[in-house]
Amino acid sequence: MKQFMMIFIGADYTDLGLSPEEMQARMGKWFAWGNKMGEAGILKGGEALTPQIRRVAGKDRVVTDLTSAEVKEIVGGYYTVEAKDFDAVQEIAKDFPDYDLGGTVEIREIMVFDR
Amino acid sequence: METKLIDHLFRHHSGKMVSVLTRIFGLSNLEIIEDAVQDTFLKASISWRKQQPENLKAWLTQAAKNRVLDIFRKLKTTNKHLPELKNGTQTIAINDLFLDNEIEDAQLRMIFTACHPKLDPKDQIAFALKTISGFSAKEIASALLTKEETIKKRLSRARKVIKTKNLAFKIPQGNELPERIESVLNVIYLIFNEGFHSNKKDILIQKELCGEAIRLCKMLLKNKYTKTSDVYALFALMCFHSARLGAKINTENELLDLKTQDRNKWSFPLIQLGNVMMNKAVETENFSRYHYEAAIVGEHIKAPSFEQTNWDKILDWYKCLYQLNPTPSYLLTMAVVCLQSENYIKANYYFEQINPDDLAQRAYLFYGAKADYFDKTNNKKEALKAIDLALEKVTNKLEKEFLEKKKLAFL
């Protein structure tokens, strides 16, 4: 078994102007998805991220504060899962709830170093 | 752990939070309040993804209390004069405002604000659905078949009027109360009718608007000053109407009239509830339009089949309604009722008093009924003429299909 990270990229909920009803519906789908992975014992961890960004870049270490509204796409969170290979994670990622909001799931394998 | 969330929990709770926070900070800070509430649900929806708190409502209430402090801080920076909220009595008082009965009180204040006669009727509906029911502008637009931009304009116009006219956030008292209740009932019934008559393909939206109207009416019934016989009558009326909601459209999404509806599909619990409410409503001498309308729908519901409807009784109730408010649409209905009881002379008597132009967009109903009249009195040529006029005037797709079917039957 290998460890993978599913990274969620897209517009931030704040900027989409979702209604309370829509938020509840979204949350229900996320909850169901998390439950499904949890029951299968593949979900290892994950976090949601706030939309505030402080970017430090370049050799001059230029600091910029950004909000989600200023960047088109933002990493909103991630899950780490245990799976056989990319194809298995791809299958899991099919249930990601926010494709209809233009969301993207990026699947990356967590690197294992030789001892 | 699978916990199913209560339907519309977020939406209804957002209405509660907006009302309570408005009671604390006043209508002039409504926009800040709405943003803060929106933010709370955003956070809840993300943090509850993995695990939902044990007591959802308590979590939401605590979140609302936390927002009180946030908003205080925010307003402090804009240097508005605010009561001190450090400790002691103020904090206790604010805690009390989150008790169930105080939340209900705050929501009633919001209802009376939304339905204030100084607001334009269209703005009232939009504002009520936004602030009390927790709909977004987009959801209101789709429910009312309007553009989102239009709704946003109505909302901001309502906010502006509330600010410039300095409307008070309170439940009116004394002589003012009955007339203010009347305007609340008017808005509630408009919301209900938007749902009931929308004929939108999406039956869910119909049900939501109807359900929301009933919920608002229920809020009035919880307060001893606002639970008047008119409120009970409107509640009964909406129950009776809603009982038939599931039977209004068949599986092919075609509109069914009373004649063809499957009466077994009518909701018995809603009819029962309507009857209970009706009994409370008639404990008065003065009947409102809601009393009569409920009596009419009640009469339809009582009939075991369409053929066994007591049309004479229904005609009597319509006469009462017409007396209360002489409008051409009642005349039209009375004509239709006479057609049902095959009293064609009387039907014609009512038809002749109507100028179809007065019915505006509903003129097609006049021509549709006229077509029936000519058909029943064996005047095929005039019947076809009338149905063509009806088809010319109708705009709603389902209604149009209905009329086209009728035309085919004439040919």
CA distances from B73 to A55, B30, B84, B320 (A): 27, 16, 11, 57
CB B142 within 8 A of CB B127: no
Closest CA of chain A from B409, distance in Å:
44
| The predicted structure's pLDDT at residue B3 | 54
Identity of the amino acid at B310: N
Q: Look up tokens 């030789």; give the residue.
A: A114
Domain spans of chain A? 2-109
Q: Residue B386 burial (CB < 10 Å; 0-12/13-18/19+)?
A: buried
pLDDT given at position B2: 46
Interface membership of B49 toward A (CB under 8 Å): yes
Residue B135 contacts residue B142 (beta carbons within 8 Å): no
Pick among A22, A23, A101 to test the B interface (most B CBs inside 10 A): A23
Rounded to the nearest integer, the mean pLDDT of chain A is 92
Going along B144-243, which residue ranges are E strands?
A: none
SS3 state at B249: strand
Q: How far apart are CA B341 and CA B335, in angstroms?
A: 10
Closest approach of B262 to chain A, Cα-based (Å): 32
* B104-149 confidence digits (pLDDT tens): 999 999 999 999 999 999 999 999 999 999 999 988 988 888 899 9
Q: For residue B237, give the nearest of B255, B213, B264, B208 by alpha carbon.
A: B213
Asked if A24 has any chain B CB less than 8 Å from its own CB, the reply is yes
pLDDT value at residue A73: 86
3 state SS for chain A:
CEEEEEEEEECCHHHHCCCHHHHHHHHHHHHHHHHHHHHHCCEEEEEECCCCEEEEECCCCEEEEECHHHCCCEEEEEEEEEECCHHHHHHHHCCCCCHHHCCEEEEEECCCCCC
pLDDT at residue A11 in the model: 84
Query: Regarding the domain with residue range A2-109, which homologous superfamily does it belong to in the CATH classification?
Result: Dimeric alpha+beta barrel (3.30.70.1060)
**pTM summary value:** 0.83
pLDDT in the model for residue B329: 87
Q: Which pLDDT belongs to residue A91?
A: 95
Structure confidence at residue B96 (pLDDT):
86
Contact assignment for B42 to A21 by CB distance below 8 Å:
no
Question: Is A18's CB within 8 Å of B42's CB?
Answer: yes
> Is A48–B13 a contact, with Cβ atoms under 8 angstroms apart?
no
Calculate the alpha carbon distances from B308 to B108, B292, B313, B341 in Å: 42, 20, 12, 10
CA–CA separation, A24 and A18 (whole Å): 10
Give which of B50, B253, B81, B173 is closest to A37, Cα–Cα.
B50
The pLDDT of A74-94, averaged and rounded, is: 95
Asked if B364 and B376 count as a contact pair (C-beta separation under 8 A), the reply is: no
Determine the distance in angstroms separating the CA of B207 from the nearest CA of chain A, rounded to an integer.
15
A vs B, Cβ pairs < 8 A, gives: 66
CA B239 remoteness from chain centre: 12
Q: Which residues of chain B have pLDDT under 70?
A: 1-4, 79-92, 198-204, 251-255
What's the pLDDT tens digit per position in B65-91? Answer: 888 888 888 888 776 666 555 555 666
